[in-house]
Amino acid sequence: LHTFSPAKMWINGLTILNKPLLQFHTQYNAALPWDSIDMDFMNLNQTAHGGREFGFIGTRMRQQHSVVTGHWQDKEAHQRIGGWMRQAVSKQDTRHLKVCRFGDNMREVAVTDGDKVAAQIKFGFSVNTWA
């Protein structure tokens, strides 16, 4: 994201996105050089408005996403991103998960299987009975 990144240009891409999304809100320098800062510096180094614009459009579209803030060299930011990555991988892994329940009702029946139907719709994995 640049200093200003008009959020409406992200709508089409976010609409079709079906993977976990993380917005890392950071800046290049750990501290701002207040004595020499100017617009050229801001244009090259800051995400100021672009980050806010992107966050706004994701929220406005009710896009599931996470935001991590911090300096890109900070160990705490790395740990938070690492935790998010592990969750993202496990979420994607569940898209191929098949769960077996024994002694339940008939397989693939929808009307008496409301909770399992909702789980398959929302999470992508099926829970079926084998008895």
pTM for this one? Answer: 0.70
Chain-centre distance of CA 3, in angstroms?
A: 21
Sign of CA dihedral 120, 124, 125, 126: positive
Q: Give percent of the chain above pLDDT 70.
A: 89
Taking 70 as the threshold, does the pLDDT of residue 114 lie above it?
A: no
Ordered domains of the chain (ranges, CATH) = 1-94 (3.40.50.10940), 96-131 (no CATH)
Residues in the chain: 131
Q: What's the confidence (pLDDT) of residue 46?
A: 67
DSSP-H helix ranges across 2-103 = 11-16, 39-45, 48-60, 75-94
At 28-39, the pLDDT tens digits run 888 888 899 888
- At 37-83, the pLDDT tens digits run 888 887 777 676 778 888 889 999 999 899 999 999 999 999 999 99
**For range 96-120, the mean pLDDT:** 74
Flag the least confident range among 47-51, 93-97, 120-124: 47-51
Instruction: List CB contacts of 91: < 8 A, sequence separation 6 or more.
Output: 20
